[in-house]
C-alpha cells in the first residue's frame, strides 16, 4: 500500500473520530435553552433553587439571546454549537460570538452533569482511564479541585479526553472550552462567581468540595463512551490500517 493511500485512509479515520467527539457535545440546538433533568430545587443544599433560577433561567438565557442576535444571517446560524465555538475561536472578528457560544456549550454540559442522586465515583472504562492517568480517583479529584481553586478570575476547569481516550485536566479563562484544541469536554466546573456567590459568597473552595456530591457519573461515563474511545475503536481502526 502506497504512503499516499495510507495517509488518505489515516486522515479519513481521524476525521471520523473527530466527528464522533463533536457529536458527544452537540446534544442541544445552539439557540434552545437546555431542559434540566431535575427541578430547580433538586440540587439543594449544594446549589440553591435561587442560584439555579438565575444561573439557568437568566444567565444562560442571556447568552442564547445575544448569540441569536450575533449569528442571524451569518454562516454560523446553520452550525451546531461546538462548530460555532471552534470556528469563532479562530476569527479575531468574532470574539462576541465565541464568548456567548462558548458559554452556551459550557452551560449545556454543566447543567446536564448533575443529579440529586449523584456523587460517588465513576465506574467502568472511565474509572479505568482515571486510574491509569492519575493513579486513583482520589488523586484525580484533588488535582481537579486544586485547579478549580487556583483558577484566577472567571473561567472553567474541565476533565477532557483526546481521540485516544487519554484524559486531561484543563483550566480555561472566561468561556474557554477544550473543544477548541480538539479535546472532548466530559466534566466542567464553572468557577464564575454567578455559579456560587449567592450560596457560598467568597468561599469558592467550599462550593467546589460540595459539587462532587451531585456529579452524575453515569452521564460523564456516557459522554466518554459516546466518543467511541471506550471501545478503543478509533485507535484500533488506525492501528489496523498501519498493519495492512
Ligand atoms: Fe455559569
State which residues form the domain around 69: 3-243
pLDDT in tens, 51-96: 999 999 999 999 999 999 999 999 999 999 999 999 999 888 999 9
Query: Hunting for cell 481516550 — which residue is that?
Result: 165
pLDDT tier, 228 (very low <50, low <70, confident <90, very high otherwise): confident
CB 163 within 8 A of CB 229: yes
Read off the CATH number of the domain in which 146 is found. 3.55.40.20
pLDDT in tens, 90-145: 888 999 999 999 999 999 999 999 999 999 999 999 999 999 999 999 999 999 99
User: What's the rounded Cα separation, in Å, for the pair 89 and 67?
Assistant: 14
Q: Which residues contact 161 (CB under 8 A, 6 or more apart)?
A: 129, 167, 168, 183, 184, 186, 224, 227, 229
CA of 242 to the centre of ligand 1 (A): 44
CA of 243 to the centre of ligand 1 (A): 47
The residue among 114, 121, 109 whose CA lies nearest residue 184 is 109
User: What's the rounded Cα separation, in Å, for the pair 172 and 155?
Assistant: 6
Residue 159, CB-side half-sphere exposure with 13 Å CA sphere: 27
CA of 112 to the centre of ligand 1 (A): 13
CA of 128 to the centre of ligand 1 (A): 30
Tally the domains of the chain. 1
pTM of structure:
0.86
Show the cell assigned to 235.
485507535
CA of 194 to the centre of ligand 1 (A): 6
CA torsion angle 137 164 115 206 (round to 10): 50
Instruction: State phi, psi for 227 to the nearest 5 degrees.
Output: -75, -15
CB 220 within 8 A of CB 177: no
CA of 24 to the centre of ligand 1 (A): 21
Amino acid at each position: 500500500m502506497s504512503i499516499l493511500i495510507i495517509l488518505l485512509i489515516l486522515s479519513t479515520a481521524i476525521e471520523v473520530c473527530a466527528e464522533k467527539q463533536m457529536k458527544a457535545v452537540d446534544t442541544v440546538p445552539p439557540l434552545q435553552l437546555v431542559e434540566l433533568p431535575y427541578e430547580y430545587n433538586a440540587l439543594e443544599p449544594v446549589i440553591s433553587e435561587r442560584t439555579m433560577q438565575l444561573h439557568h433561567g437568566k444567565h444562560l438565557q442571556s447568552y442564547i439571546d445575544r448569540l441569536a442576535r450575533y449569528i442571524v444571517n451569518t454562516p454560523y446560524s446553520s452550525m451546531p454549537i461546538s462548530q460555532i465555538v471552534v470556528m469563532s475561536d479562530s476569527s479575531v472578528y468574532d470574539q462576541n460570538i465565541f464568548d456567548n457560544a462558548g458559554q452556551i456549550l459550557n452551560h449545556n454540559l454543566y447543567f446536564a452533569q448533575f443529579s440529586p442522586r449523584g456523587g460517588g465515583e465513576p465506574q467502568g472504562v472511565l474509572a479505568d482511564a482515571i486510574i491509569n492517568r492519575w493513579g486513583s480517583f482520589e488523586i484525580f479529584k484533588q488535582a481537579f479541585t486544586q485547579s478549580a481553586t487556583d483558577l484566577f478570575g472567571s473561567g472553567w476547569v474541565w476533565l477532557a479526553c483526546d481521540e485516544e481516550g487519554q484524559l486531561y485536566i484543563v483550566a480555561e479563562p472566561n468561556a474557554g472550552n477544550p473543544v477548541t484544541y480538539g479535546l472532548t469536554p466530559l466534566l466542567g466546573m464553572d468557577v464564575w462567581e454567578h455559579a456560587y456567590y449567592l450560596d457560598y459568597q467568597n468561599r469558592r473552595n467550599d462550593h467546589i468540595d460540595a459539587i462532587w456530591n451531585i456529579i452524575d457519573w453515569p452521564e460523564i461515563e456516557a459522554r466518554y463512551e459516546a466518543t467511541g474511545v471506550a471501545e478503543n475503536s478509533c485507535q484500533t481502526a488506525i492501528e489496523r490500517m498501519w498493519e495492512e
